[in-house]
Every structure is written in C-alpha cells, then in structure tokens.
Amino acid sequence: EAVWMENYYDIKITPIHDRSGKPFGRLIAAHDITLQKNVEQDLHETNEQIRKRASQFRAIAQVSSSITSVKELQETLTQITATLSQQLGHYHVGIFLLDSTYQFAILQAANSDGGQEMLAQGYRLKVGGQGIVSAAVSSGKPQLALDADNDRFFYKNPFLPLTRSEVALPVRLGGELIGILDIQSLKENAFSTDD
C-alpha cells in the first residue's frame, strides 16, 4: 500500500543577467520546508486540543459553581445545560433524570429550542428503549454516536433534526445512577473518548 506524503518547498527565483545587463536566465533555489510545515501543523492541532480542553475545564468550573451556589434543583439543571452549551458550543444539551421506578428517563432541562419543545411536552424515554440515552441508562456507561446516520443505537429525534453526533454520559449521586447528560452536536465526530 503506497503512502502519499506532501512535500513543501520555499522557492526563490532570481533573474540572471549578462555583463551588459541583459537577462539570459533565472536561478531557481528550492529549500525543502516540509519538516517545518509538519511541525506547524502539529502545533496548530495541539493548540486546538488545548483550547478545547480549556473550554471544557471552564465549563466544569462553572457547572461546579452552579451546583454549589444554587439550592433549587430545576434552576441548577437549567444553568448546567446553558453553561455547557455556551462554553462547549454544542447544538443541544439536555439532562434526563430517572423516575423512581427506573422505567423512564425524563427530560428535566435543555438549552435548545427543540429541547424546550420537548420539555413543554413532558418528554421521556423508556429505559431499555431505542437511542443513545436509553443505552447509557441500561449499560450505566457513556455512549457515543459519532455519525448519526450510520450509528445503530442513534435515535433520530424529530425535535433535534440537525444532530450529527451525540454523547450520553451517566450522572451518578453517591455511586447510584440518577440520570443522563445528553450532548448533541451539528458536526460528525464532534466527540472523543476523552470527552
């Protein structure tokens, strides 16, 4: 299997003149700068990862502050979804809490317009049903759909038609699963296992 590598060159062209000043050719000097370009690309990618991590840490700090400063649960959940959406730039952030029978995950807070419509309709998902959120409840583990069109667990929600990727993260209190943090993006492959 052939591997294609791009090479980058810094080209300088200098005209050459005879003794009378009449041009008779050009001197072309090519300096291979492939290594420099590769280092620049690696630096750019590293800076992007650092920027993303910094946004995530800011969001975590703000969420932590919200949790400790707000006493009313609904207000806290609403602040969390707004903060995560603003800091991380995702299309939809929702928080589901499990009902007392562990049969349904009930949407409690959401930042998106579609999420607000879902809240108004008392949106809930059956545990063990279709979708990433249900899979996260059933397994108790994070679930990831990087390509909504080709993921077998992804549920195409009519309230959130622009979702391209989704992550569902279990929320625990004292080790007990109490809900799911659901984050959806307009971009494919928007999440990684690090998220």
When comparing pLDDT for 166 and 1, which is higher?
166
Q: What is the mean pLDDT of residues 113-119?
A: 94
Confidence (pLDDT) at 177: 92
Confidence (pLDDT) at 142: 92
How many angstroms separate the CA atoms of 129 and 131, rounded? 7
How many angstroms separate the CA atoms of 181 and 81, rounded? 9
How many angstroms separate the CA atoms of 84 and 94, rounded? 10
Q: What is the mean pLDDT of residues 22-33?
A: 86
Q: Which of 153, 150, 143, 182 is nearest to 164 (CA)?
A: 150
Q: Using an 8 Å Cβ cutoff, are 145 and 153 in contact?
A: yes
Of the pLDDT bands very low, low, confident and very high (cuts 50, 70, 90), residue 128 is confident
pTM of the predicted model, to two decimals?
Answer: 0.65
Q: Per this entry, what is the length of the chain?
A: 195
Q: Using an 8 Å Cβ cutoff, are 145 and 132 in contact?
A: yes
Q: Which residue has the tokens 């299997």?
A: 1
pLDDT at 195 over 70: no
Of the pLDDT bands very low, low, confident and very high (cuts 50, 70, 90), residue 4 is low
Confidence (pLDDT) at 121: 94
Q: How high is the mean pLDDT of the chain?
A: 85
Confidence (pLDDT) at 66: 57
How many angstroms separate the CA atoms of 94 and 163, rounded? 13
How many angstroms separate the CA atoms of 100 and 146, rounded? 31
Confidence (pLDDT) at 79: 85
Q: Using an 8 Å Cβ cutoff, are 183 and 167 in contact?
A: yes
Of the pLDDT bands very low, low, confident and very high (cuts 50, 70, 90), residue 84 is confident
Confidence (pLDDT) at 105: 93
Confidence (pLDDT) at 149: 83
Confidence (pLDDT) at 53: 75
| Cα angle, residue 129 at apex, residues 162 and 187 outer, rounded to 5° | 20
State how beta strands 124-126 and 23-32 pair: unpaired
Which token pair is 66? 């919200």
Confidence (pLDDT) at 73: 79
Cα 146 to Cα 163, 183, 192, distances in angstroms = 10, 12, 8
21: phi > 0 → left, psi -120 to 50 → alpha, else beta; which? left
